Amino acid sequence: MTDPLATSGIVVVDKPAGMTSHDVVAKLRRAFGTRKVGHAGTLDPMATGVLVAGIERGTKLLAHLVADDKLYEATIRLGASTTTDDAEGEVLTTADASGIGDEAIRANVEKLTGDIMQKPARVSAIKIDGKRAHELVREGAEVDIPARPVTIHTFDILNTRRAGTAIDLDVRVHCSSGTYIRSLARDLGAQLGVGGHLTALRRLSSGHFAIGDARTLEELQDNPALSLTMDEALTRAWPVLAVTQEEYDALAMGKWLDTRGLKGVHAAQGPDGRVVALVKEQGKRLATVFVARPSTL
């Protein structure tokens, strides 16, 4: 029997610099010949690396992937602050950072590690009264986004380069979803009293999808193929729960099953290896969180 989800799944793109995430989606729509393309976790135009996109029914899966941790490599320049907290903005302040020692840098990086409160960049995609912050800034409005909790699991300095009055730090950051690396650069510079901004950013992984899964847009335009099928994506990102055919059919209709002591979300996989749904125990029932293969397909 033909799988109705044969053309649905996940594409992991190695996004080039200079393109918005929306630009990437537009190119994927043309390459795959479908309007049903979306992405999880926006990357700024200057950023490169892992952008997870959903194709066809894979777009429905994206909402369940956005809360995953991210891994980045970045370059932070100490000695200047900008309007956007990155190299694309106008310079606000400059200062001589040459006198700052490695010990002081490490100590302040440590302060930005763990569970912290972070104020997102003013030019972020966060919505304020129905409009995105970066749109309001471009219109000349004053934008103040409240600080929010994020987790910086690791913040490692890979290399330190000193050039004149500036210091460039190559860093690797493993963080929770919703973390702004530009804000880390800004806050590190502020703590050191010299200002800071981001000059390069590359995402190495987003949840269970890494740069090793990624293909360039050129490769995808020449050969538009999924990186992972729906089943491969679901069984990689969540632990598997084997279900009988009868249970599979019930879940396909959105029905609930009896609990079985599970913790967290699981991918319910039928005898044929296909995943029918994401399920989670809620009270005294095992309920569907997302139905990958509804009975109506």
pLDDT digits (tens, 9 = 90+) for 85-108: 999 889 999 999 999 999 999 999
Alpha-helical regions (H) of 142-273: 181-192, 217-222, 230-237, 245-252
**Per-residue pLDDT tens digits for 203-254:** 999 999 999 999 999 999 999 999 999 999 999 999 999 999 999 999 999 9
Residue 139 scores a pLDDT above 60: no
Which residues are known to be catalytic?
44
Q: Where are the beta strands (DSSP E) in the chain?
A: 9-15, 37-40, 48-55, 70-78, 80-82, 91-94, 114-118, 127-128, 131-132, 148-163, 166-175, 196-206, 209-210, 228-229, 240-242, 266-269, 275-282, 285-291
Residue 134 scores a pLDDT above 60: no
Domains of the chain: 9-67+207-230 (3.30.2350.10), 70-206 (3.30.2350.10), 238-291 (2.30.130.10)
